[in-house]
Chain A
Amino acid sequence: MQTLDQERTSAPPKQIEDLSLLGEVSHRTAGVSRLEMCIQCGCCGGSCPSEADMDHTPRMLFAMLRAGMRHAALMSNTPWICVSCYHCVVRCPQNVHIADVMYTLKSMAIEAKLYQDSTAPDFSQTFVDMVEEFGRSFELGLATRHYLKHFPLRLPNMAPMGIGMLSKQRMNITPTRIKGIAQLKAVLKRAKEVEAAS
């Protein structure tokens, strides 16, 4: 009978270099992710309100990262379904920064163009474009632009809500711009350069 160790050496993974995937994800996560410390207990999936809609539980996803399954992990809808509720984070016995790892996986999926449905990345990008342009977010422009693009048929249904918010003056019709927008743009430009170089 083969031992586990022999099995592993007799059938090496096809792409050895991908065994660095776990480290790469961990390295790209803010703070000390502790992803390497995951003991596969499953407490995260069991605590997750969105688990039913996920392709993989966080635990499974982290096992896939460890196994170097880059493509499958970046294709998973799990990070996009995560609502950042931090239930798993406070329960994880290993103190893995689960929600932040999800952000990292989103950004890696965007880079690799490996997400299946563009709604969420598009929403984030629209939001970020607005913030980069004005320094402030602008809910009305954001929501309508987004709905027009992704749920045009829903827009008429949402109109009463939009009108309600508008008529109560709870949505700005035009965005405000901060005074230091040039400063902010310079900071973000530099940040992108630093990111590219690191």
Chain B
Amino acid sequence: MNKYILYPGCSMESSARAYYDSLKAITDIIGLNLQEIEDWNCCGATEYLGIKLTPAYALISRNLALAAQQADGTRTVVAPCSACYLNLAKADYYMQEQPVLGQHVNEALAAGGLSYKPGSLDIRHLLDVLVYDVGLDTIKSKVVRPLTGLRVAPYLGCMVPRPDYEHRWSDYEYPVELDRLLNALGADVIEFPLKTECCGGHMTQISPDTAFELIRRLVSAADEHQADLMATLCPMCQMNLDAYQSETNKFFHTSYRMPVIFFTQLMGLAFGLEAKDLGFGLELVSARNALAKIGIEHPAEIPTGTARPKKDGSLPMPAPLPRRNMHTEKGKVVK
């Protein structure tokens, strides 16, 4: 079994649960042993870097220090989120390129009884490990239900193929790893010209109109290419394209319904697993029709009803709207 240290990142536990669930469902099948970093912390996304340099890199590096401690015979850290991947890779690379940064970070880590020697770990994205370590032959050999006829737009976003400090990808702007993997699953992979264009990142929060335009471009291009769905490998991209799609539609008076699915969910389907065990149904733009096209049953929509506000002074959230679905309390589906 290939053994790796996993840095899941915050999104995998909440907004990208489908990514985590599907990843866990397929690891045994392809012989991937992922050990989560004990008590990891958020890497700060792209936000901390623009505030203060040393704390930003110290925040990232606490994870590297913990990972190195826990390494136990492996030196590869795998990150499934593109922002996490880039942050870890960047910290490791820049601390080598500029030793004084490494010294400062280590001074900070020492306050917590930690240390990290830059360059002692390999930081890799999940897709990279799947394509180049597990290998497409192995993946292909596990396919029992080829996704024949499913038109998939492969979408990587920016931060996986670029800046690519360690030259791991086939191209900065038009890499083919995801296409090849989806091909191995039997899917009908379209040539997607925007595969590494930005989805807007945190712009959905800062300047929604700018983000809506970037989202519209991506979704409409996938639609023009008659994709049944888009396959992504980043929680943030998935969230932007899926959760903000209806806002984008409202903004431009369009009516796109493009499902955005994690590539690991498609792997699970091809390996013969049930859609319900792969996080299908968590997407806001439902993949039901896309799955129906290849004869796979989409699970009933995930039961709602646990969205109850807490009385513990937690942060404000949008006022609940009257619910008009047929689900009630705690996951019980009322027919």
Contact = CB atoms under 8 A, between A and B. Distances in A.
- B50, B57, B94, B205 pick with most chain A CB within 10 angstroms: B50
A187 B114 contact: yes
Interface string A163-177: 111111111111010
A195 B54 contact: yes
Interface in A63-90: 79-81, 83-87, 89-90
Main secondary structure of the interface of A (DSSP, over half): helix
Contacts of A176: 13
B104 A159 contact: no
Interface residues of B, number: 88
B290 interface: no
Interface stretch (A3-11, A15-23, A144-152): A144-152
Contacts of B97: 31-32
B248 to A, nearest CB: 11
B162 A165 contact: no
Contacts of A107: 50-53
A21 to B, nearest CB: 17
B113 A183 contact: yes
- B47, B93, B107, B312 pick with most chain A CB within 10 angstroms: B47
Contact of A85 (B162, B305, B312): B162
A59 to B, nearest CB: 18
B109 interface: yes
Contact of B54 (A29, A124, A186, A194): A194
B186 to A, nearest CB: 28
Contact of B62 (A32, A139, A184): A184
Given A124-B48, A140-B317, A180 B39 contact: yes
B142 interface: no
B319 interface: yes
A144 B318 contact: yes
Interface in A123-141: 123-125, 127-128, 131, 135-141
B292 interface: no
A32 B98 CA distance: 6
A113 interface: no
A85 B198 contact: yes
Contact of A163 (B112, B114, B321): B321
A110 interface: yes
Please classify how large the interface on chain A is, using the bins under 10, 10 to 19, 20 to 34, 35 or more: 35 or more
Contacts of A144: 315-318
Contact of B104 (A110, A136, A171, A195): A195
Contacts of B316: 144-145, 148
Contacts of B90: 30
A172 B11 CA distance: 10
A160 B321 contact: yes
Contacts of A159: 318-319, 321
Contacts of B57: 30, 191
A157 interface: yes
Nearest to A179: B39
A164 B90 CA distance: 34
B320 A163 contact: yes
B14 A171 contact: yes
Contacts of A119: 206-207
Interface stretch (B27-35, B131-139, B239-247): B239-247
Interface string A30-51: 1110000000000000000110
A85 to B, nearest CB: 4
B318 A158 contact: yes
B201 A83 contact: yes
Interface string B73-115: 0000000000000000010011001100100110111111110
Nearest to A165: B243
Contact of B50 (A103, A143, A166): A103
B39 A31 contact: no
A173 B14 CA distance: 10
A192 B173 CA distance: 36
B94 A127 contact: no
A187 to B, nearest CB: 4
- A28, A131, A188 pick with most chain B CB within 10 angstroms: A188
Given A90-B164, A154-B208, A187-B109, A162 B53 contact: no
- A100, A146, A161, A171 pick with most chain B CB within 10 angstroms: A161
B53 A195 contact: yes
19 contacts: A50-B210, A84-B201, A86-B163, A86-B172, A89-B163, A100-B49, A104-B53, A137-B10, A137-B42, A138-B315, A139-B10, A144-B317, A146-B205, A155-B318, A165-B15, A166-B307, A167-B304, A184-B62, A187-B58
